[in-house]
């Protein structure tokens, strides 16, 4: 009975966003002496994919495969084919690669308030960058008002939320035209491991090419056509992911029992598978 009760409680507990452990809405009194230390992106080292917004698709597509989540059609950047982010090493993101806004906003985000459709700037108190008291780091509040750091975080999260709403309009348009189809990506490395990614969606290129003229013109004016083209072009980056994985195996063969010879990908190709906001108080 106790196990069942615990399971029920766990199921009922609200899900926190990726990376976040303990969100707290920022308040000038409660968090008067809280500070934020400098940090790295180690928190994203084991994350093989991240949500992105529509305005990031062009930048993300230059490095990562950009696909859509199978359950929500949320655009995501694929960072690896196993529970590893191939673009983070020693706490640093690869210098020549785009860093998604979802990472850059951490440990801040908007948290829902008790007010209907209300949101307030929140911080992950579970982050090791967040400290209470002392002089290390940057203050979140100064003289009872949001510091420059907190104000910048508010503006960043506001823009991110606005872009998330526009992204939904983009994915809704794709779904309305029934353009999203299931796909799977597979690869076999020279150490014998088979890597794969499933339960994701891509735009069906043939259906996309067959869109009626009225939709094509409308989507061109709205900037949606370019987003789809960048998404489709990004699918070639699956090969680059396997190459990056191969390089990591060579650098640390003990991590998987691989030999010292470079790993080789046999195949990696998409294959068909059977509201109001509050300034911190």
Percentage, residues of the chain above pLDDT 70: 81
| Rg of the chain in Å (alpha carbons) | 21
Read off the DSSP letter of residue 56: G
Q: What is d(CA 125, CA 175) in angstroms, rounded to the nearest whole number?
A: 37
Closest CA to 137 of 122, 147, 145: 147
Q: What is d(CA 110, CA 183) in angstroms, rounded to the nearest whole number?
A: 32
For residue 111, the model assigns a pLDDT of 79
Task: Tell me which residue has tokens 């009194």.
Answer: 29
Q: What is d(CA 168, CA 54) in angstroms, rounded to the nearest whole number?
A: 9
For residues 186 and 100, which has the higher predicted lDDT (pLDDT)?
A: 100
Residue 207: count of CB within 10 angstroms of its CB: 13
Q: What is d(CA 205, CA 165) in angstroms, rounded to the nearest whole number?
A: 25
DSSP string, 21-46: SSEEE--TTTTTTEEE----SGGGTT
Report residue 249's pLDDT band, with 50, 70 and 90 as the boundaries. confident
Backbone angles phi, psi at 229, to 5 degrees: -60, -40
For residues 252 and 259, which has the higher predicted lDDT (pLDDT)?
A: 252
For residue 238, the model assigns a pLDDT of 92
**Residue 82 in this model has a pLDDT that exceeds 80:** yes
Which of 85-89, 107-111, 118-122 ranks highest by mean pLDDT?
85-89
Please say whether the beta carbons of 113 and 25 come within 8 A: yes
Residues whose CB falls within 8 Å of the CB of residue 178, separated by 6 or more in sequence, listed in order:
207
**Residue 6 in this model has a pLDDT that exceeds 50:** no
Please state, rounded to an integer, the average pLDDT across all residues of the chain: 84
Q: What is d(CA 40, CA 33) in angstroms, rounded to the nearest whole number?
A: 22
Residues whose CB falls within 8 Å of the CB of residue 255, separated by 6 or more in sequence, listed in order:
248, 249
Maximum distance among all alpha carbons in the chain?
Answer: 63
**Residue 233 in this model has a pLDDT that exceeds 70:** yes
If residue 169 lies in a helix (H) or strand (E), which one and from where to where?
A: helix 148-176
Backbone angles phi, psi at 183, to 5 degrees: -145, 165
For residue 261, the model assigns a pLDDT of 42
Closest CA to 88 of 194, 236, 198, 244: 244
Q: How confident is the model over 119-142, as a mean pLDDT?
A: 94
Report residue 255's pLDDT band, with 50, 70 and 90 as the boundaries. low
For residues 115 and 245, which has the higher predicted lDDT (pLDDT)?
A: 245
For residues 189 and 264, which has the higher predicted lDDT (pLDDT)?
A: 189
User: Which of the residue ranges 82-86, 123-127, 150-154 would you say has the lowest mean pLDDT?
Assistant: 82-86
Q: What is d(CA 121, CA 193) in angstroms, rounded to the nearest whole number?
A: 43
**Residue 175 in this model has a pLDDT that exceeds 50:** yes
Bridge partners (DSSP) listed for residue 277: 119
Q: How confident is the model over 243-255, as a mean pLDDT?
A: 73
Q: What is d(CA 124, CA 108) in angstroms, rounded to the nearest whole number?
A: 7
**Residue 123 in this model has a pLDDT that exceeds 60:** yes
**Residue 265 in this model has a pLDDT that exceeds 60:** no
Please say whether the beta carbons of 53 and 101 come within 8 A: yes
**Residue 251 in this model has a pLDDT that exceeds 50:** yes
């Amino acid at each position: 009975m106790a196990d069942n009760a615990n399971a029920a409680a766990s199921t009922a507990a609200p899900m926190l966003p990726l990376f976040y452990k303990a969100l707290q809405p920022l308040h000038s009194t409660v968090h008067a002496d809280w500070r934020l230390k400098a940090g790295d992106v180690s928190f994203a080292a084991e994350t093989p994919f991240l949500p992105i917004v529509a305005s990031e698709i062009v930048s993300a597509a230059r490095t990562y495969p950009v696909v859509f989540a199978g359950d929500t059609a949320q655009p995501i950047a694929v960072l690896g084919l196993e529970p590893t982010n191939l673009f983070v090493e020693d706490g640093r993101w690869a210098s020549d690669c785009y860093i998604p806004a979802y990472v850059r906003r951490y440990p801040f985000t908007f948290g829902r308030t008790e007010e209907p459709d209300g949101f307030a700037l929140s911080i992950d108190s579970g982050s090791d960058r967040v400290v209470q008291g002392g002089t290390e780091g940057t203050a979140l509040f100064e003289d009872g008002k949001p510091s420059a750091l907190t104000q910048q975080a508010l503006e960043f999260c506001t823009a991110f939320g606005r872009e998330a709403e526009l992204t939904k309009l983009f994915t809704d348009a794709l779904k309305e035209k029934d353009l999203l189809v299931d796909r799977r990506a597979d690869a076999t490395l020279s150490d014998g491991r088979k890597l794969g990614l499933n339960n994701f969606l891509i735009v069906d290129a043939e259906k996309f090419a067959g869109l009626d003229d009225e939709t094509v013109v409308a989507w061109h004016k709205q900037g949606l056509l370019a987003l789809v083209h960048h998404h489709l072009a990004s699918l070639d980056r699956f090969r680059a992911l396997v190459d990056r994985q191969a390089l990591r195996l060579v650098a640390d063969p003990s991590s998987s029992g691989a030999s010292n010879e470079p790993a080789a990908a046999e195949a990696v190709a998409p294959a068909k598978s059977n509201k109001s906001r509050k300034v911190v108080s």
